[in-house]
A = this chain, B = another copy of it.
């Protein structure tokens, strides 16, 4: 059963493209409209079944949408939202899939027109790849979507977005924007920065002989630097806090090794192993 009449996806990369494919397959909208600046992307999105039709004219595409999802890089979510919201019909929902939330939502709650309900969303799914060619209709399956309502969020719009994402991901969690950013800062964002540091630490010789554990731990370092630079700076405070916490653990480990404290190292590794095994 269609939950929406017309859903417009702005940005047809890995996430926007996969979202279109998953929604069309589950018939969650009568029509999925795609917006991209590039005609080639629109053709590819249509060919892959990610959209029913596409356009480079974002204003025209949002005019009759009851849901607009911004699936652009995080640094342009706010400017796109501001430019497009006034053209959206009364009662329609504006949402996003951005990897950070607090900065975006703070900016939008100050500036969006009242006739549009904004709901912040972040499906915890993705790969190190980007672009419509990497889109996958199963990307969200058995994942989770975090919705980040605030006191100002329209409850009816929130319920409809929860329905949509529950159908796509399986589960939906609710966190405040800052809880979301702290959580992602301490896990995904910290892990990406560690991976990039691991890569620049290894010398050329080591790289050609790298074992599977190292390759696995640095896979995310293949993620697009341009996209991640924006993500990191839009969640700077939470990430700096997480980096400081990591530093304390890391220096404790280094100190145990420096002073040859075998019992201390074993205790620390056992504790970490137990935590990770429990997941």
Q: List chain A positions with a Cβ less than 8 A from chain B.
A: 124-126, 143-144, 146, 173, 182-184, 186-188, 190-203, 205-226, 228-229, 232-233, 236, 239-240, 242-243, 245-247, 249-250, 253-254, 257-258, 260, 262, 265-266, 268-273, 275-277, 279
Q: How close is A228's CB to chain B, nearest CB, in angstroms?
A: 6
Interface contact B211-A124, CB-CB below 8 Å = yes
Give every chain B residue within 8 A of A279 (Cβ-Cβ): 207-208, 210, 215
CA distance A114 to B246 in the complex (A): 49
Q: Could you give 23 example pairs across A and B, Cβ below 8 Å?
A: A125-B212, A126-B213, A146-B209, A187-B202, A188-B211, A191-B214, A193-B250, A193-B253, A195-B217, A196-B253, A196-B273, A200-B268, A200-B271, A200-B272, A200-B275, A201-B242, A201-B249, A215-B279, A221-B275, A224-B273, A225-B270, A229-B262, A239-B257
Give every chain B residue within 8 A of A198 (Cβ-Cβ): 190-191, 194, 246
Interface SS, A side: helix
Q: Known contacts A203-B186, A268-B200; is A262 also within 8 Å of B233 by CB?
A: yes
Give every chain B residue within 8 A of A183 (Cβ-Cβ): 205-206, 209
Give every chain B residue within 8 A of A254 (Cβ-Cβ): 240, 243, 247
CA distance A259 to B266 in the complex (A): 37
Q: How close is A235's CB to chain B, nearest CB, in angstroms?
A: 10
Give every chain B residue within 8 A of A219 (Cβ-Cβ): 216
Q: Which residue of B lies closest to A237 (CB)?
A: B257
Interface contact B187-A250, CB-CB below 8 Å = no
CA distance A50 to B219 in the complex (A): 33
Give every chain B residue within 8 A of A233 (Cβ-Cβ): 257, 260, 262, 265
Give every chain B residue within 8 A of A258 (Cβ-Cβ): 240
Q: Known contacts A232-B257, A254-B243, A262-B233; is A222 also within 8 Å of B276 by CB?
A: yes
Interface contact B266-A199, CB-CB below 8 Å = no
CA distance A77 to B192 in the complex (A): 37
